[in-house]
Amino acid sequence: MAEIVGGGRPVNDAERRVIAYLRDHAPADWLLLHNVEVPRRDDVFEVDLLVVTGHSLVVIDVKGTRGRIEVSGMRWFPSRSPAFGSPAMKLRGTARAIKGLLVDKHKELERVYVDSLVVLTAPDAELVDPDGRDRANVVGLDALIPALQDPSRVRRGCTRDASPYRGWILDALNAMVRSSNAAPRYGHWEVEEQLGGDARVTEYRAFNATLPGSETVLLRVYQADPLADAASRAAELQRIANAYQSLARIPPHPNVVRPRDFFAIDDESRFVLVLDDVHGEALHLRRRVHVGVVRDMLAGLAHAHAHGVVHRALTPASVLVTDDGRAMLTGFDYAKPGPRAYTVANELGNVLDAQYVAPESRDRPDLMTAASDVYAAGVIARRHLADPPAIVDRMLEESPSRRPTAAEALAALESRPIPRRSWFHRLLRR
């Protein structure tokens, strides 16, 4: 049995399961710390588990996500819940930060490798990582101990025998970490599960702490710099608040994700966007869809355009298909909510997927209009419909003036007759 040398309260059953599993099955000379926080200047790293093995210190993040999880770029796309930032990428950054803090305490710890592992606890969890970006840092619970015992994970230049450094490791950790005794709370929202994120924003599923058992919401917690000068802070707040300001202009619609709230916490070092928790999967994960999904996407887009909001970053990743087959638009971080005195368009070049960008906007993302959104929707329809209707060709016109509006494209789809199934197909369905 491994020794638990400290820790706070686990946030969920997945974390409890991993802690108990390591306690009961890991080698007796391993040391565990769980549910701790590691402060570094203005940052606080929330860590599910720290494990001191015979050859390294390992930072562990626990995910209870179920089903197929597809990795694309810097995001994970689960089949049963909304997409979120890669936890493996974020955890690698946390591991590097902890290594720096260790070395600051004891220079001798430069020789100790700090590894990182995301543990998927659901028995049906399956990571699909075509580019291999995250695969080496993700394991299932049954493969956790073998991965922790594998000295080949230690990078060149670091020792494969950490036992002479154990005293320094424990001394540094004792000075660095503090227990996290309660689930994080943002306003009256208590975190149920951390979904992922990056250096800029962390995503959580949360519930109303005053109404336990109530429906969950999605929290996007944005990092900010409270010590920046006034002009920089104002620009940062404009960027962070952009999604909420855009969505707040759009009246409720069944095909657009609904915002609940937006507020600052602490000393304005973080801002919280509260959204409906849409249970479904990103269109990105579906090769072919029914034309109804494209109709829903256009309905949401036409509704946004009618209220002066241009999405500007429309891709299959920003279209969620709910469990009942309804499509909803999300991902309004870079939207344009009508005329205003400032812009976030200067950041679009870093986040846009070029294959969905209209020709007139490829060199000038700041010139994106509603017609640019229609072009992106046309690319999505062309790629995901088995038999794209003629209106899709018009949506993909080179000249924006020749494209239909989203409302016109929607009307064309709604007037398209639904093909009758042959007697043979009806017989197969019986």
Contact 184, 66 (CB under 8 A): no
Return the pLDDT at 173. 92
Of 302, 220, 211, the C-alpha closest to 256 is 302
Lowest mean pLDDT among 181-190, 285-294, 337-346: 337-346
Q: Are 365 and 344 in contact (CB under 8 A)?
A: no
Q: What pLDDT shows up at residue 416?
A: 67
State in Å, rounded, how far the first CA of the chain is from the last one. 56
CATH architecture of 280-414: Orthogonal Bundle (1.10)
Res. 362: pLDDT tops 90: no
Instruction: Tell me the pLDDT tens digit for each residue of 273-316.
Output: 999 998 888 888 777 788 999 999 999 999 999 999 999 999 99
Say how far residue 414 (Cα) sits from the centre of its chain. 33
* Integer Cα distance of 234 and 158 in angstroms: 44
Contact 63, 120 (CB under 8 A): yes
- d(C-alpha 300, C-alpha 278), whole Å: 15
State residue 285's pLDDT score. Answer: 75
- Specify the CATH superfamily of domain 185-249+259-275: Phosphorylase Kinase; domain 1 (3.30.200.20)
Q: What is the DSSP letter of 369?
A: -
pLDDT tens-place string over residues 118-151? 999 989 999 999 999 999 999 999 999 999 999 9
Give pLDDT, residue 95.
Answer: 95
Average of per-residue pLDDT across 358-384: 92
- Parse the chain into domains and list their residue ranges: 3-179, 185-249+259-275, 280-414
C-alpha span between 174 and 303 (Å, rounded): 54
On the question of pLDDT at 169 being above 90, the answer is: yes
**Identity (one letter) of the amino acid at 151?**
P
Residue 82 has pLDDT above 90, yes or no: no
* Residues contacting 145, CB < 8 A, separation 6+: 22, 25, 26
In 10 A of CB 262, how many CB atoms?
A: 19
Cβ(329)–Cβ(256) below 8 Å: yes
**Which residues lie across from 6 on neighbouring strands?**
33
- At residue 10, the pLDDT reads 81
CA distance 347 to 241: 14
Q: How confident is the model at residue 430 (pLDDT cuts 50, 70, 90)?
A: very low
| Burial (Cβ within 10 Å: 0-12, 13-18, ≥19) of residue 121 | buried
For residues 106 and 320, what is the distance between their CA atoms, to the nearest angstrom?
A: 48
Least confident of 150-154, 249-253, 323-327, 415-419: 415-419
Q: Helices (H) and strands (E) in the chain — how many of each?
A: 11, 22
Q: What DSSP element (H or E) covers 232?
A: helix 230-248
Residue 320 has pLDDT above 50, yes or no: yes
The predicted pLDDT at position 246 comes to 94
> Average pLDDT over the chain, rounded to whole?
88
